[in-house]
Amino acid sequence: MVSSRSRRRLSPEARRGELIDAAIRLLDSGQDVTNWVQAVTAEADAAKGTFYVYFSSWEEMLVAVRNRVLRDYVDRFQRLTESTEPIDWWATLDAECAAAIEAIARQGGLHAAVFHSNSALGPMDEGQQDTVAAIAKALHRGMDEGAFRPVDPHIAATILFSVLHSAADAIATGEQSQRWLTVVHDLTRHWLAPP
């Protein structure tokens, strides 16, 4: 062993953050890790025991990762909903779809771990619900302003979320992103545009 790490004393937030960062990096990398705690602490240049100072189990870390990942989405849609400027809903929808697909497809392993994990967190856990709720709120406002046809916003948001995921998964496994973007664009137009 070469890199004799010397005790790095950090503030709890900093260390916790470094651990989460390391976990995201590994999750994202798609490597086939079996010993996650060991791998993450190595990646974060910390001792194995340090992990358990901040997380009482690997599950708890997954929750933290999930929260950090979803926060991004929630924030974006929240800003949208709270904005007082006039919004070009269709341009925004297209942009968000493209951005989401691109982001998910890029960090392949991460999203699989965060969303497809068959761990203690069931399908549709809290974090995911928040995201869907944020999307629903935005759609709701778009309907109020007449940009979208009235449909159940919660269900529509859930479907949208799921479609974007499909697209990203497909793109991540090698399908052409342009075709998918076109189809998604076409789907949203036909589905949500007012007559």
Partner DNA sequence: TATGAATGAGACTTCATTCAT
Partner DNA sequence: AATGAATGAAGTCTCATTCAT
62 versus 168: smaller Cβ distance to DNA = 62
Q: Which residues make Cβ contacts (< 8 Å) with residue 29, sequence separation at least 6?
A: 109
Q: Residue 155: which of its own copies, DNA, none does it interact with, CB under 5 to 8 A by kind?
A: its own copies
Site for its own copies in 134-163 (CB under 8 A): 151-152, 155-156, 158-159, 161-163
35 versus 176: smaller Cβ distance to DNA = 35
Taking the C-alpha atoms of residue 154 and residue 157, their distance in angstroms, rounded to an integer, is 5
> Could you tell me the two tokens for 186?
């076409």
Q: Does 90 bind its own copies (CB under 8 A)?
A: no
The alpha carbon of 3 is separated from its chain's Cα centroid by a whole number of angstroms, namely: 34
> Could you tell me the two tokens for 20?
């989460």
Total Cβ atoms within 10 A of residue 5: 10
Q: Does 38 bind its own copies (CB under 8 A)?
A: no
Surface-to-core class of residue 95, CB atoms within 10 Å of its CB (0-12 exposed, 13-18 middle, 19+ buried):
exposed
Type of residue numbered 35: N
64 versus 167: smaller Cβ distance to its own copies = 167
Q: Does 173 bind its own copies (CB under 8 A)?
A: yes
75 versus 152: smaller Cβ distance to its own copies = 152
Q: Residue 194: which of DNA, its own copies, none does it interact with, CB under 5 to 8 A by kind?
A: none
Residues of the chain by 3-state class (helix, strand, coil), percent to 5: 70, 0, 30
Binding residues for DNA (CB under 7 A): 3, 5-12, 15, 34-38, 46-53, 56-58
Binding residues for its own copies (CB under 8 A): 112-113, 116-118, 122-124, 151-152, 155-156, 158-159, 161-163, 165-167, 169-170, 172-173, 179-180, 183, 186-187, 190-191
